[in-house]
Structure 1
């Protein structure tokens, strides 16, 4: 089955996975920091969470996004 022209690719790209992975790590750190109450680590993980989409955007602009020249989709 081929993708329709308007299909954004559902985030199956290294750029999307980079952003999601960074945000997932940040949320994991924030959970632990909140549980043991380490405020500075909670703030640091919040900053890391905000940097996740920015990193994904940078990797996308480097060509690893869904429509980037360095991205080769794999068949599922």
Structure 2
């Protein structure tokens, strides 16, 4: 091996720091929080409908935002400096 590559020495992978990822995670966390609350109040149908439904909605919204260009590497994504 020659030891030379065309890639930079440290390449930022993004790790999900995008509006699409943050929006999806916040919606899913809300679903888990409400699901836990309804579980505590012994309302299993609300756990399934509200808690589970929001997790699915979060996945769909994150996917839509990524396709719209708000994901890591998307044309509307602007990475922030650290």
TM-score (norm 2): 0.80
More helix by share: 1
Q: What is the aligned-residue RMSD (CA, Å)?
A: 1.9
Gaps of 5+ in 1: none
Gaps of 5+ in 2: 1-8
TM-score (norm 1): 0.86
Deviating runs (4+, > 3 A) in structure 1? none
Q: Does residue 17 of the first structure (1) align with residue 28 of the second (2)?
A: no
Larger radius of gyration: 2
Higher relative contact order structure (alpha carbons within 8 Å, sequence separation ≥ 6): 1
